[in-house]
Chain A
Amino acid sequence: MTVLVVAEHDRGHLPEATLEALTSARSIAGGLGVPVHAAVMGEGADLTFAKLGEYGAEAIHHLTSENLGDYSPEAWGQALAGAVASASPSVVMASGTDRGNELMAQLAARADLPFVANCVDVAPDVTSMTRSQWGGALHEEASLAADVKLISMAPHTVESSPAAAAGAVSEMAVDVDASLTRTAIKDRVVLSEGITLSTAPVVVSGGRAVGSEEAFAPLEELAAELGGKVGCSRAVTNNGWRPHSDQVGQTGTRIAPTIYIASGISGATQHWVGAMGSKNILAINTDPEANMVTKANWAVLGDLHEVIPAITEEVRKRKG
């Protein structure tokens, strides 16, 4: 009996989400009195071994097949189904990222098991849990009846922390149909190097009140001074002022910056669930009753068109 963590990675790069999943897995495994194992596969899997051990994997199952290479939801999903059949874990879990949920769903479909996505709290016996609906704006108490319990944890539910374990690596040969490489990544298009909206330490966002595409220039300037990124609300992308990849929200990006500077954003539920992972929030708004203002740590009451340039100027002054 084990808690098996699906180690999501991209060509050997382990995202923070996988470390969060290992951290959550340790407390679930502790409750069940079983060890944490990890399953990892594909191109660059060997680059992840050390860190998986560092974050608590007693054993690391390196799944191997000639048909496992770069990420393929179907091939990786079938490999996981094979691993679950031979390792018989009591719980299999991942972080509720795009890939994490996709792999768990692929596994669930193949193993004909239920899968509870985006849990925020899990009972010690893993037969009941609280999970996110509406991107986290609503919670559902769910029950789970299954021999092997498949769950994912909502991102940012816990902060990752290391806890070194043996991390003993063993190879596990699995059957993967050659045909399933049909969903392997064929190519990658890199649009931005360096920090991204989801990893930026500072996000400067604007809402409908910004008023136009051009009026985002001062936000760009402030974000650049702070080494951050510009985000926006759904109203902004619906108006075509910013690309959808800049949207913070339930249907956009979940952010977790050190500080989120939300200007001219009322803070509707759809936006809030994308921003609630922020460690600190500063709201700039003319309306002291706006949701974003009441939920913020700090607020400036005023017109963002005047406040943002003033902040940029002050930052520049102090930088000398």
Chain B
Amino acid sequence: MNLPTSSRASNLSRELKVTASKSSPQARIERMSRKDQDLPLKLRVASSLVTSGYYVRINVGLSATSSRGLADVTDIDVIGIRHDVTFKQDAIAVTCKSGESKALSPAREIFYLRGVLDYVNALNGVAVFSRKPIPAHIRDLGRRLNILALSGIEIDDWCNSLTKDMPEHGFFKESDYDEYLKGWARISDGNLVDYFRADYWFYYDFRNLQNIIGLLKRNAPRLTVQHKWVSLILLDAAVHLCLTVFDLCRQVRLLGLSSIADTTTAYLFGGAPSFKARKDLYTKVQHLLASTGVLSPSGPSLPPLEPIYTEALSELAIRLIERPHAAILIPLVLQDNFWRVLGAKGVCWTETKNSLAAEKLAQDLLEFIKKASGLQWVPKL
């Protein structure tokens, strides 16, 4: 987690996009990865969390609104996300520090991490300092804020305890992660890169559904090649979308399965009241266009307000809701396939009805993305 000092202005996501147009995304991403001194530690922790059933990402950007759009605030070094059978999220965030300078304050990091945890609705946090000792009173501070503070050899012990007697999966190897970043760099659309790096976590609600589909739709012509890097991007996008679909599933479950079609449509617009307002506006526009002759009875009609994939989304949601034990494994299935594409050994799944259904539901999700975004192909799991 990089704490911006008060004297340094936050980076604007939009400014990054301007930079992107000047230098290629590849150069930018390579520069970013070279600067990251904490990367080996982050990869180690991330790899250990995978074994505990988390979908794990590193370097997740957090932003907030400014007058010029979204501005970078900070980032989460490692975040692990999993869901229970009611599609409720359980997240863990880890801050990794390899430095030993005096400026590095474990107390400040712990307080900062607590704020970040609240921001992403995560309960547990871990602060790891590979070369900075942690005094007892700072550990107690961690206890009070529900943050595990670890230092030096304790980090190894903790990681080893998480992976003890668990099969090796080979995720988060530095060379593979590098290749993953290079894969993203091959897509020239800076918007897509920035969206998954930071904007997604800012929105992190219903808006991500339409936004991800829209971004993939715009990039569909670039994603036609059946290549490794395209697979990586699509699998990465699929996991992000999956987390939002889980939120939809939760809403549908809470509001009643019988109204799934209505709930899905309303969810896409942020809930029933805002959907109704949007629908009223749509009707007004329709009347206005008709009364001014823009919309002629013999000419083309106004397309429906609901995105064309709404029904397919309901279908996907009902499949997930009807098999929650399998559904919550989808991010792990996609994560597994993602790292396999990069050459990892992968998780050794015991083939049960549940794991097979999870793979199948993950494929359903990819097929939904293909249909909704107009992609020519999606990876076969």
Q: Tell me if chain B binds chain A.
A: no
Which residues on B are within 8 Å of A, measured CB to CB?
none
